[in-house]
Amino acid sequence: MADIVAPEVRSRMMAGIRGKNTKPELILRRGLHAAGFRFRLHDRTLPGKPDIVFPKYKAVLFAHGCYWHGHDCHLFKWPSSRPDFWRAKIERNREVDALALSALQAKGWRQGIVWECALKGKLRMPIETVISECSAWLKSDIPFFEIRGNA
């Protein structure tokens, strides 16, 4: 299927997609702050520049977009235009994610991932549930946490 917008318009649209302060990230930050958690943002000294860093709990939280990180859910669909480019890009994103998680683990940091599908789409969970599960994980000593939309 051909793209419905001109290539220069599509390029401008794609360039406007943010990597920081995304809607899912803001939802998590707002809810966790209201629950009493204090954190740092986008710490460049840590592998993968985690979205939210909880030094007190030695834990980090990533708010991953399902499209950019190639999540196996209803929000992700392989693009039909330039499939080789997009497959290589998304696979590379997955490799970078895996490297960052293993480097964080080696440094003794606990890692959590909240997928976009947990917060939006037809399988989303109530925001209160996502925040309470994140809170419970932060207070525990579980090394890895992942939350996705209801299956």
Supply the pLDDT for residue 127. 95
Judge whether 98 lies within some domain. Answer: yes
Query: What pLDDT, on a 0 to 100 scale, did the predictor assign at position 13?
Result: 66
**Residue-by-residue pLDDT tens, the chain, 151 positions:** 566 777 777 667 666 666 677 889 999 999 999 999 999 999 999 999 999 999 999 999 999 999 889 998 988 888 888 889 989 999 999 999 999 999 999 999 999 999 999 999 899 999 999 999 999 999 999 999 999 988 6
Q: How far is the C-alpha of 9 from the C-alpha of 147, rounded, in Å?
A: 34
Cβ neighbours of residue 62 under 8 Å, at least 6 residues apart? 48, 50, 51, 97, 111, 112, 113, 114
Identify whether 9 is part of a domain: no
Q: Is residue 8 part of a domain?
A: no
Percent helix, strand, coil in the chain, to 5, is 40, 15, 45
Closest CA to 128 of 147, 106, 144, 109: 147
Tell me the H-state helices in the chain.
7-15, 23-34, 83-106, 127-139
User: What is the pLDDT at residue 15?
Assistant: 63
Phi-psi region of 108 (alpha: psi -120 to 50; beta: other; left: phi over 0): left
- Does any domain span residue 43? yes
Residue numbers of the domain that contains 23: 19-147
Domain of 74, CATH number, reads: 3.40.960.10
- Within-domain flag for 132: yes
Instruction: Tell me what pLDDT residue 106 has.
Output: 97
Asked whether residue 27 is domain-assigned, the answer is yes
Is residue 139 situated within a structural domain?
A: yes
Domain count, the chain: 1
Residue 25 within a domain: yes
Return the pLDDT at 130.
96
Structure tokens at 17: 């997609």
